[in-house]
Amino acid sequence: MDQAIAKADALIEAMGWIRRFRGKTTVIKLGGSLLEDREALQHLLLDVIFMETVGLRPVVVHGGGKAITEAMAKAGIEAHFIRGRRVTDEKSLEVVEQVLAGELNVELTEMMERFGGRAVNLSPRTTCVLKGKKLIDPEGDDLGFVGEVTEVDRDVIESLAYTDQVAVIPSLCTDDKGQLYNVNADTAAMAVAQSLGADKLVFLSDVNGVRRDPEDPQTIIPALSADEARQLIADGVIKSGMIPKVEACLETLGRGVQKVHIIDGRLRHSLLLEIFTTDGVGTEIHP
C-alpha cells in the first residue's frame, strides 16, 4: 500500500506541472549516443508519448552523427569535419539522407507507434518542413551540402499537434530549388523551437547539465538566468564543449523560447523528471 500511495503522490506532484504546460509546445532534440542506446531511447520515447497523452505538444528533432559516420565508413567514405561541422559532398549527402530520412526518422516514428503513441515522420521523403540554404562558413571553407534553416513550415507541425500526433523531424532542409542540405541537429531544433514559439527546448545530452566542476556530476546547477550563464562563461566555470551548447541556449532564449533545458538522456525517464517534478534533473536556463 505504501508503494501505491507513493505513486499517487508522484501523480499529484506532476498534476500542477501538467496543468501549467498543457497545450504548450516542447521541442526535444535527440541525437548523439542516445540514438545508439536502445534502452535509453525507448524510455525517452515513452516519455514523449506520456507528454502528448496528458495534453502537452512535444515535437522531436533528431540528428544521427554516429550512425552517419558508421554508414559512411561502410561505404568507404572518409568523414571530414571543419570546426565541428561535417563536410558533406554528393556521396556523403546520399548517406546522410539515407540514415536520417530513410532509417532513423522512420525507426523513431515506428517505435513510438509500437509503444502506443501517434507519430508522423516529416522528412524530405514525406513532407519536408525545414526550408533553408547553403551555409556559408565564416572562415571561407566550403562545407559542401551543409545548410542552415531559414524557414519552418509551422502549419504542418501544428496541425499534427492539434490531432494529437507527434512530429518527428530529421536535421535536413531543402532550398527553393529542392536541393537537399545536411543541417546541424542543435541548430535545426533551435529553428523549430523559435518558429513554434515553444515554451521549452530540451537538449538531451550525455551529461546531466551545466556543472560548476565539469568532472563532478554532483556540482550540477539546477537553474540559471541568461545573465548568470554569461557570467559563468566569462569566469571560466562553463568551458570547453559546454560553451557552444550554452551559447546556443542563450541565442534561443533571445528569440522567444521561454526556457531551455540540458539534461542527461541516459537517465531513465529524465524528460519526465525534468518537466514534471519540482527539483528536475538537469539545468534549466531562463531569461
Q: So which residues are the catalytic ones?
A: 29, 32, 65, 186, 245
Which residue reads 551545466 in cell numbers?
210
Which amino acid makes up residue 117? G
Instruction: Please return the burial class of 226, using the count of CB atoms within 10 Å of its CB with bins 0-12, 13-18 and 19+.
Output: middle
Question: What are 2's three cell numbers?
Answer: 505504501
Is 65 assigned to a binding site?
Answer: yes
Instruction: State which H helix or E strand residue 170 sits in.
Output: strand 166-170
Cβ 100 vs Cβ 73: under 8 Å: no
76 annotated to a ligand binding site: no
Strand ranges, E, within 31-146: 57-62, 81-82, 85-86, 119-121, 130-134
**3-state class of 148 per DSSP?**
strand
Sign of CA dihedral 189, 190, 195, 199: positive
Asked if 202 and 271 touch (Cβ cutoff 8 Å), the reply is: yes
How far is 235 from 114, CA to CA, in rounded Å? 47
The amino acid that residue 36 corresponds to is: E
178 assigned to a ligand binding site: no
Does 64 carry a binding-site annotation?
yes
Residue 81 to residue 137: CA distance in whole angstroms: 12
Q: What is the distance between the alpha carbons of residues 116 and 35, in angstroms, rounded to a whole number?
A: 20
Do the beta carbons of residue 156 and residue 129 sit within 8 Å? yes
How far apart are alpha carbons 100 and 63 in whole angstroms? Answer: 7
Which residues participate in the annotated binding site? 64-65, 86, 182
Which residues participate in the annotated binding site for substrate? 64-65, 86, 182
